[in-house]
Structure 1
Amino acid sequence: MHQPRDDDGSRKRISRAETVPNVREMLERLVGLPSISSASAEWDQSNEPVVRTLGEWLEALGFSVEILAVPGMLGKYNLVATLGRGSGGLVLAGHTDTVPFDDKRWQSDPFTLTERDNRWYGLGTCDMKGFFPLAIEAAKAFTAGDLKQPLIILATADEESSMNGAKALAEAGKPKARYAVIGEPTSLRPVRMHKGIMMERLTFEGQSGHSSDPGLGRSALEGMQEALGELLALREGWQEQYRNPNFDVQVPTLNLGCIHGGDSPNRICARCELHFDLRPLPGMNMESLRQTILHRIQPVAERRGLIMEFEPLFDGVPPFETQPDAVLVKACERLTGHTAQAVAFATEAPWLQKLGMETLVMGPGSIDQAHQPDEFLELSQLEPTVKILRGLIRQFCL
């Protein structure tokens, strides 16, 4: 295979690349740097050590590295590393955080890379610290002098909890490129669409009173019972209106997740709270869905004299879609031999799309191992990943 040469010859390129660890050593280091993100303060950690480690390796390869603090989030950082210049180019993106873990269910230390059964085990091996060493290994074959368009490696914060890292980048208008591949675990099958996620809280507050006389109070629980009927009617209508055969579950879903209300059978319930989630298909606007829900539920509260609160539990993730004939989709299909598909899980893809990039999700490992005890990455995925990424770099940067 032809090896790209540095401006000063191949020796400079080789010596520079040799200062960066090999794939196993890189992943061993990354797994050993805890970077859990969580809505629970007792679990939440900074990702700064991971970002700075990636920055050191990429600077050694000639990348220009920016480390950007996520506004309003202490200890959270994004990294934008750029090799070469130009108005187009390719972004290889991933998140640096992991989910929490239960060490009692692990057979080995989650923060020690352990090899057995032709797999690498460790927290984040699959989702998705394992992508970064492979992206860096792919980048080792190129120098800035080889590239006509930039190669950008992007590492984000807090994907597993708030997605605030990706949101901050979209608000800042960076990075700028033409194409983006997010290396989430898809078993190296290209993914061009996924559903969105909305998690909502609905609260009714009424008036308590003795249960022997309903006129003494206003039941928040009875109001919620009526609201539940309205939500299920909305779900039925949406599932009749929207369908996408690319998904295993072809319709939008609405799940009534948990409900809390009242304190005693002989007291009129004064407060009731419902949490539910809605997973919209591409083409469904989240704010419009919220307004539709509000329009149906508000009259229930008004008729019953209840105070209503309706708000997101978090900002949500919009649905994502890239057209099947997009250049990036066709390139990934050619390199992998697989037709682009749809998945149920959500990613940072909508925010990279907002930056104007043609975006696709594709990376090593299976989503079935993500968020599981004994998370692992199959060794058989390593070489194909590097080969595919180098193919993308050649097509979009050379």
Structure 2
Amino acid sequence: MAGRIPDFPELLAALVGTPSISCADPAIDMGNRAAAECLGGWLEDLGFDCRCLPVGPRDDKVNLIATLGDAEAGDGLALAGHLDTVPYDDNGWDSDPFTLTRRDSRYYGLGTTDMKGFLALAADVARDYRATDLTRPLVILASADEECGMDGARALRDAGHRPARHAVIGEPTGLVPIRRHKGILMEAIRVTGHAGHSSNPAFGVNAIDGMRQVLNAVCRFRDELATRAPAPGFPVDHATLNTGVIHGGDSPNRIPARCELQVDLRFPPGFDIAPLRDELRAVAHEALAESDCGIEFEELFTGTPAMETAADAEIVRAAEQLTGRTAAAVDFGTEGSFYNALGMDTVILGPGDIDQAHQPNEFLGMDRIDPMRDILHGLIGRFCLRP
């Protein structure tokens, strides 16, 4: 079927040209509704039934669920991705981030690889199918706020509605299927002391000195965690803990009353978020057992579970056959664990490269488009056309 929608470059240009940044900073944060309605409008022209479901209290943040064929038939395939992007550096781009620019056999623009390019390609491929062709539904699922907490995927999980039995998330994997990835949590540890004049340490309780003890304990925990459960197959084959931010005090001649450490902890399948967070807090708390300092904790990021889809799952085997690559593991997180929790066997597979994500001059190589198109046709044939 020749759908009455633009071709792929125009689709991608329209999505890139519709800003949808998500960010913890309210001054930068945007909704994704305009981008979702843009994508949904094309899909409706192809016969999809489209629903925009609000995520949280804001009306401009939505999940788009677009279904072609009989949703009641069950099973089927979801082509999934997020419509939001990260912020961008004002001085890092050689072209306007919101204008799709073609040069050097690449498409440049914010979100081209992470991951508006995949969603535009899914819509482009979908033009070749009618609802009457399908024995099982084809779903295009576009979520909100993946970059800033995965709120869209959490909302779908919490609603308990499974739009399809199998899912492909088009995150940038260089056309390599991924069936396992690490989970992540982020935590702030705040040590509190008592301010005083620096001329006499007895005038106060030094929070930076207290944090030194906490930091040493956290680093020992990091080293022990790395040896506790080897994770063969991952690029970094163990859990990691990054001490990413530390700040405290305000003047060299004052005893500092506060010091804060922020950490990022990534873990392979087999670990759960809550016990790891509890253990991290216990380690930090114990480090100050003999100190006059206090300690406080804050969840900076609730966390994303690790993902593992069975090696013999039908979607894994199909992705391996169509790409000629064995399903692998990555250290970054995706929405896959939330979709697996809904009962969708999920593979991460997209045309972009992860080293282009979150970078100035983000691009999608044109040589990846036709191979990804062929993979999508193969998956649709396998999961939506065959009885």
Shorter-chain TM-score range: over 0.9
- 2:347 equivalent in structure 1: 360
SS of residue in 1 equivalent to 2:347:
strand
Structure 2: unaligned runs, 5 residues or longer: none
- 1:294 equivalent in structure 2: 281
- 1:347 equivalent in structure 2: 334
Is 1:171 equivalent to 2:189 in the alignment?
Answer: no
SS of residue in 1 equivalent to 2:302:
coil
Is 1:224 equivalent to 2:211 in the alignment?
Answer: yes
Is 1:112 equivalent to 2:132 in the alignment?
Answer: no
Show the 5 A alignment for 1:85-100: 85=70, 86-100=73-87
SS of residue in 2 equivalent to 1:37:
coil
CA distance in 1, matches of 2:200, 2:310: 60
CA distance in 2, matches of 1:367, 1:194: 13
Asked whether the 8 Å contact 2:162–2:344 carries over to 1, the reply is no
Amino acid corresponding to residue 235 of structure 2 in structure 1: D
SS of residue in 1 equivalent to 2:317:
helix
Runs of 4+ with >4 A deviation: none
Is 1:57 equivalent to 2:46 in the alignment?
Answer: no
Is 1:24 equivalent to 2:16 in the alignment?
Answer: no
CA distance in 2, matches of 1:212, 1:375: 52
Asked whether the 8 Å contact 1:103–1:109 carries over to 2, the reply is no
Equivalent pairs: percent with the same residue?
51
Deviation at 1:24, TM superposition (A): 1.2
Asked whether the 8 Å contact 1:98–1:123 carries over to 2, the reply is yes
CA distance in 2, matches of 1:250, 1:189: 18
- 2:254 equivalent in structure 1: 267
Structure 1: unaligned runs, 5 residues or longer: 1-12
CA distance in 1, matches of 2:276, 2:358: 29
Amino acid corresponding to residue 251 of structure 1 in structure 2: H
Show the 5 A alignment for 1:31-50: 31-50=16-35
CA distance in 2, matches of 1:37, 1:211: 43
Is 1:153 equivalent to 2:143 in the alignment?
Answer: no
Amino acid corresponding to residue 40 of structure 2 in structure 1: G
CA distance in 1, matches of 2:278, 2:22: 30
SS of residue in 2 equivalent to 1:105:
coil
Q: Deviations over 1:182-241 (max 9, x none)?
A: 001111110111112221100011212234444432222222111112111211211111
Q: Deviations over 1:235-266 (max 9, x none)?
A: 12111111112112111111111211123334
Asked whether the 8 Å contact 2:172–2:349 carries over to 1, the reply is yes
SS of residue in 1 equivalent to 2:301:
coil
Asked whether the 8 Å contact 1:95–1:156 carries over to 2, the reply is yes
Asked whether the 8 Å contact 1:218–1:304 carries over to 2, the reply is no
Amino acid corresponding to residue 77 of structure 1 in structure 2: V
Amino acid corresponding to residue 7 of structure 2 in structure 1: N
Q: Deviations over 1:57-104 (max 9, x none)?
A: 111111111101111235211100111121211110011011111243
CA distance in 2, matches of 1:43, 1:360: 31
Q: In the alignment, which of 303, 309, 313 is matched to residue 322 of structure 1?
A: 309
- 1:7 equivalent in structure 2: none
SS of residue in 1 equivalent to 2:269:
coil
**Number of residue equivalences:** 383
Asked whether the 8 Å contact 2:11–2:120 carries over to 1, the reply is yes
Deviation at 1:285, TM superposition (A): 0.9
CA distance in 2, matches of 1:353, 1:83: 22
Q: In the alignment, which of 371, 374, 377 is matched to residue 358 of structure 2?
A: 371
CA distance in 2, matches of 1:218, 1:74: 48
- 2:241 equivalent in structure 1: 254
CA distance in 2, matches of 1:30, 1:389: 20
Deviation at 1:297, TM superposition (A): 2.2
Q: Deviations over 1:84-133 (max 9, x none)?
A: 12121111001101111124322222111111121111111111111112
Show the 5 A alignment for 1:119-130: 119-130=106-117
